[in-house]
Amino acid sequence: MGAKRAVAGKPAFSRRRVNTGLQVQTIAKVADNSGAKEVMIIGVPGYHGRLRRVPPAGVGDLVVVSVKKGIPEMRKQVFKAIVVRQRRPYRRADGTWIAFEDNAVVILTPEGTPKGSEIRGPIAREAAERWPQIANLASMII
């Protein structure tokens, strides 16, 4: 197992890794007003892991979700979403640990913009830094 090398001016790791508190088959709340209430994570794009390992996701990660509860037009639809809260505690660079009351996502349109016009509840700072369009809609960033 070789070490990862930096590529001409880019660091080997572009962002700090957050403890992954969600995985495929996890049920999460929807934090926006897109019409969906509850979703199930069905995929994590970009994850290349061991054979048969269940792909994990953490705060700020892009996931593929299936709507389980919500308005009839949204149910049974597949969307991309961003994880904005997770129950599992994770450590920040300053040494503090943070955990939320629930697992929550914000649904995206196929173009990559948030589907809803407002986000209910707090969102993690890690998600806001990585996705500025979500930060603009957030009422509270923790």
- pLDDT one digit per residue (tens) for the chain, 142 residues: 566 555 555 555 456 788 999 999 999 999 999 999 999 999 999 999 999 999 999 999 999 999 999 999 999 999 999 999 999 999 999 999 999 999 999 999 999 999 999 999 999 999 999 999 999 999 999 9
In a domain, 67, yes or no: yes
pLDDT value at residue 8: 59
81: in domain:
yes
pLDDT at 88: 97
Q: Is residue 7 part of a domain?
A: no
Domain span including residue 26 = 22-141
Cα 21 to Cα 79: distance, rounded to the nearest angstrom: 20
Total tally of structural domains belonging to the chain: 1
Please give the model's pTM, rounded to 2 decimal places. Answer: 0.88
Q: Which long-range contacts (CB under 8 A, 24 or more apart) does 116-119 make?
A: 116/32, 116/33, 116/34, 117/32, 117/33, 118/32, 118/33, 119/31, 119/32, 119/84
For the domain that residue 71 is a member of, what is the CATH number?
Answer: 2.40.150.20
Only one residue has tokens 């599992």, namely: 88
